[in-house]
Amino acid sequence: MVVSRDEKPCSIPMDRFTEPEKFHLQCEVDPKKSMERGLIDPRYSQEALRLIEKIECGCVRLDSLVELNRGIHAYRTDGYGQTRFGKGPQTKRDKEEQSYHSKKPIDSTYLPEIKGKNVFRFEFVSTGDFLSYGDWLG
């Protein structure tokens, strides 16, 4: 895609290449709407927006039921977390001894450790270990 700085296009064509020299127009993106939404989405359309709104109507939002995050790094030695062996950030000793892991829960901060490779579409498999979750992690 090439957009000239001197021109203000009323729409940006989004082409889909099917072969190196063959393509077809997938859609046209309105630059003003892209700026409002903060992204250029070649799959955006009013029809898709109406469908999403219909699906969301009367539904319970997932974020009202669960707390999701991108995950954690249990041990980092580059200035994050808090060491279990004194004051300051985590150390190599924390990482080597896995100071926040346990084979059984020690207190209420210990929850089953769940790694991304053990998460599947409708289930997860615990590693069998427990991890003390809190601000002390990396």
Q: What integer pLDDT is reported at residue 85 of this predicted model? A: 92
Report the C-alpha gap between 127 and 117 in whole angstroms.
10
Q: Name residues of the chain where pLDDT drops below 70.
A: 1-9
Quote the distance between the C-alpha of residue 35 and its chain's center: 22
pTM, two decimal places: 0.51
pLDDT tens-place string over residues 49-81: 889 889 888 888 888 898 877 778 899 888 888
Q: What integer pLDDT is reported at residue 112 of this predicted model? A: 92
First to last CA, the chain: 40
Neighbouring residues of 20: CB distance < 8 A, sequence distance ≥ 6: none
Q: What integer pLDDT is reported at residue 10 of this predicted model? A: 77
Q: What integer pLDDT is reported at residue 17 of this predicted model? A: 83
* Token pair recorded at residue 73: 């790094």
Report the C-alpha gap between 112 and 61 in whole angstroms.
25
Report the C-alpha gap between 116 and 114 in whole angstroms.
7
Q: What integer pLDDT is reported at residue 66 of this predicted model? A: 87
